[in-house]
Structure 1
Amino acid sequence: MILADWAYGCYKQNKLQMLLENDNDEAMDDIKMMEKFVMIAFWCIQEDPSLKPTMKNVTQMLEGTAEVLVPPNPSSLYVLCK
C-alpha cells in the first residue's frame, strides 16, 4: 500500500483523524489545519506537472492568502482508508 493512496482515501472519506491515530490531543484539535496541509500536499504530489502548484502558490496557500481547492486524486488508484 502506498502512503499517499491511503492518506487520500482517508481524506476522501473525511477520516483524517486516522492519520493522527496515535498522536496527542493537541494535534487532534487542529484537524482543520491538518486538512489544509494534506490538501496542499496532494496538490504537490500530482503526477501531471501541469497540475502541481508553484512554490509561490504553495506559500500563499500555507499563509492563507490563496484558496486551497479540492485536489484531484494524486494517483490513478487509491486505497480506501481502513
Structure 2
Amino acid sequence: MSGVGVTPADSLRSRAHAVRERFAASGTNISEWARVRGFSISLVQSVLAGDRPCRRGESHRIAVALGIKENVAPPGTDAPSDNDRLEGVRA
C-alpha cells in the first residue's frame, strides 16, 4: 500500500485489519491461536488493533507469525526460517 500521506503505521494497521478479518471469516478464535503459539493474548489483540509498532520483541514475532510483517534476518545472520504463518487459519 503506497501513496501520498500513507505512513508505515497506517500500512501496518491496514494489514492487521485484514488479518483480523481473516480470523473472523475463518471462525478462528484469536485467543486460542495466541495460546497455542505461546503468545500473550492481550499483546496479539494489541498487534491486531494496530496499537503496537511491532519493531522488536514479542510484538514483532507476533506480527511475523500473523503475516503482518516480513521475517527479515538481522544483518550478519542466516536467512530466517520459513515459519508457518497463520497456521490453523483457513483462508
Q: What interval of TM-score do these two structures reach, taking the shorter chain for normalisation?
A: 0.3 to 0.5
Q: Please give the TM-score of this superposition, normalised by the length of structure 1.
A: 0.33
Q: Whose helix fraction is larger, Structure 1's or Structure 2's?
A: 1
TM-score, length basis structure 2: 0.31
Q: Larger relative contact order (C-alpha < 8 A, sep ≥ 6)?
A: 1
